[in-house]
Amino acid sequence: MTTIRLGFATATAIAGVFAFTLAAEAAGKFDGNWVIDAPAAGGAIGSEGQYICPALRLPLEIKDNKVTGTLERTQGNRVVAGSTNASAAPVTGTVTRNGTVTANWLNFHARGKLEGSHGTIGWSGECGPRTATATRVSR
């Protein structure tokens, strides 16, 4: 009986360490709320004197190394972040341990690098290539 108990206790301890390790690896060092700031692009000015591709501020969340958020393109060609409208599309992506981030929204594919609480992210769109800064605003 003692051998069985010892075997059960050992198996339980190993399972506990394994579960703790998985939980620790699931939470990423880049987890938190982030803001992506992209300057106006394209060089074209619309009929109202504004850039066709205006500056953007996009809030996103990284949790367990996954990028999440929602963005919606309005009729005025503006992008609205965090929208709950039915027309909003999800932002999805991942962050690796070394900070390489990839994200997708509709037909846009972004890639970048995070270091600590800052980083850069780039993508190409109707106004050409854009480079944005990423800043973690909370953990």
List the chain domain ranges.
1-26, 31-138
Q: Mind listing the pLDDT tens digit for each residue in 63-122?
A: 999 999 998 877 766 777 777 777 788 999 999 999 999 999 988 999 999 999 999 999
How many CB atoms sit inside 10 A of residue 60's CB?
23
Residue 53, pLDDT score: 80
Residue 137, pLDDT score: 97
Its pTM surpasses 0.85: no
Selected from 3.40.50.1260, 3.30.70.260, 2.40.128.120, 3.90.1150.10, the CATH number assigned to the domain covering 31-138 reads 2.40.128.120
- Residue 28's closest CA among 81, 82, 100? 100
Give the contacts of 13 (CB within 8 A, at least 6 positions apart): none
Q: Above 90 in pLDDT, residue 15?
A: no
CA dist 28 → 88, 130, 134, 139 (Å): 27, 26, 16, 11
The dihedral of CA 108, 112, 114, 119: what is its sign?
A: negative
